[in-house]
Structure formats: C-alpha cells, structure tokens
Homo-oligomer: A and B are copies of this chain.
C-alpha cells in the first residue's frame, strides 16, 4: 500500500507522461510557419490534439522497468507514435477504409486533400526515423541501430503494412480465429510490441531473459487491444469512439466479433490479459505500470 502511494496513482502517472509525449511531438514536428506550410500544418493536424497514446504509454512503462531516462524514452515513444499516426492517415484514405472521422474530427484527407494526406503519412514515417538518427537514445549505439531496425521491421511489409495488406485481402471473407490472429499480430501487434521494446532499449536495466518477458507481455497486450477494438467497433456509438463505429461490419471485415460472437470475444480479451500479466509476474512490483496499462487497454469502455 505504501509503495503504491509513493509511486503515485496510475492517473497521475498517465497524465504526466501524456504531457511529456505531447510536448515532444509538438517540438519535433516542424512548425506550421515553416515551408511547405500546408504540409506541416496537415502533419500537425494528423498527430496533435487527440489519440489515446497507448503506444507511448507502453514505451514509458517498459522504459521505467529498464531504468531508462524518461527524456530518451519520450523521443523513442514519439517515433512510434509518428508511425502510428501515419498509418491512420493512410488507412483513412478513400482507396483504403475511406473514412471521414478520426479522433472526433474530419480525417486528414477530408480536412486537407488526398494528395496532402498521402504526403503527410509519407513525411511522418520519415520523421520517425529521423528522430532515431538524431537523438541519443540508448547507452550504446549498437542498441540504437537495433532500435532503427526494430521500428522499421515492425512498420514494414512483415509488420504493420503487411497486416494492412492481409486486412485488405480479407474483406468479404470469413477468417478462422488463427487467421485473424495472424492478421492482427501484424496489423496492430507489431507496432505495440515495438513500442514496449523501444522503451526497454532506452535503458540497460533488463537482462536478455527479462527483455523476452516484456516482449511476450507486449504480444499478448497487442492482441488483446485488437480484440477489444473489435468489440468496441461492434457495440459502441460513433460519438463514444470518436471514429466511425460499426465500420467493420459495414466494410465486410472479419473480426473477432464476427468470428466468435461478442461475448466470447470479451472472454478472449480477458484471457489474453491474464497471459500478459503472467508473462511479467516475476518482475513483481517493478512491473506495476505495465500491469496497469494491460488493464487500461482491456477494461476500457466495457
């Protein structure tokens, strides 16, 4: 009880780290007055002012576990969030999900135009890697190059972009649960996993075995995140989500809800949470924030 009180509440921790990540994103995005202005304004529109920042919070929690300096973790977390933000901008384009609402506001191509939104996504991806080349993030530079490789692999054709391709290909099909899992391990899982590992790489407080535990934890959390997303998409209102609800069914996309029903999907998300918590059990009190984030992800909104 006393330890928890000293560490501070999850709310206070989250609040402090959300401020930290917003301030870094504000700073690393080129100012709206810098040419080409419209592109820079659109990049800021796409990244700032909204988003749950789940990936940065995961990076901060893993970074604390690895005894990393929070300034370093904040940059690594910003890189991951820039990749996430770019993927949303491209995912919302007419040739992809063709969506008009994101974080309670018009999507980037609606507020600006399609060509600008395309370039916004492209330039946000470049900016993510620029941060990894520009700032000192890890104790040794070999580890920092490892972070470049890790984020790139998680973003690319065998990670997030590959997951999007599988997603496109699955429209109108009914997938089995293992097929769904394969898709989501790529589409959302890879970047969530990268977020935790990027945070952990900023410190040197974890040995190889402990690092593997964080990895295992993040894999389960990533899948749980997607299962919860599917349930929320099926059961929530657009107003609550801040993005268009029910669009999976409308777009004939296979989901955990369509594959197993909402009740079983909810049950699966709880199982995945338990697996995630089991993976970090041996850390004891040191993994408090990771446990709280797992709960935050799985228990949100239902």
A interface list, Cβ under 8 A from B: 30, 34-36, 38-40, 43, 86-87, 90, 93, 95-96, 113-116, 118-119, 121-123, 125-127, 129-130, 132-134, 141-142, 144-153, 155-159, 161-162, 164-166, 168-169
Given contacts A90-B122, A115-B95, contact A130 B142 (CB under 8 A): no
B145 in contact with A126 (CB, 8 Å): no
Which of A115, A144, A146, A169: most chain B CB closer than 10 A?
Answer: A115
* List of B residues within 8 angstroms of A168 by Cβ: 115-116, 119
B161 in contact with A116 (CB, 8 Å): no
CA distance A144 to B148 in the complex (A): 11
A133 in contact with B157 (CB, 8 Å): no
Instruction: Select A166's contact among B35, B127, B129, B147, beta carbons within 8 Å.
Output: B35
CB distance from A113 to the nearest CB of B (A): 8
A162 in contact with B36 (CB, 8 Å): yes
B141 in contact with A118 (CB, 8 Å): no
A34-B158, A130-B152 are known; give 10 further A-B pairs, CB within 8 A. A39-B162, A43-B157, A119-B164, A123-B156, A126-B161, A130-B148, A130-B156, A133-B148, A133-B150, A134-B149
Given contacts A133-B145, A141-B145, A149-B133, contact A165 B127 (CB under 8 A): no
- A interface, by DSSP: helix, strand, loop or mixed? helix
CB distance from A209 to the nearest CB of B (A): 24
CB distance from A133 to the nearest CB of B (A): 3
B122 in contact with A93 (CB, 8 Å): no
CA distance A65 to B89 in the complex (A): 42
* List of B residues within 8 angstroms of A158 by Cβ: 30, 34
- Contact sample, A vs B, 8 pairs, CB 8 Å cutoff: A35-B166, A39-B162, A93-B95, A121-B122, A123-B155, A123-B161, A130-B148, A130-B152
Given contacts A93-B118, A116-B168, A145-B145, contact A156 B132 (CB under 8 A): no
CB distance from A140 to the nearest CB of B (A): 8
CB distance from A4 to the nearest CB of B (A): 38
Instruction: Select A156's contact among B113, B127, B147, B155, beta carbons within 8 Å.
Output: B127
B36 in contact with A165 (CB, 8 Å): yes
A161 in contact with B122 (CB, 8 Å): yes
**Which residue in chain B gives the minimum CB-CB distance to A121?**
B122
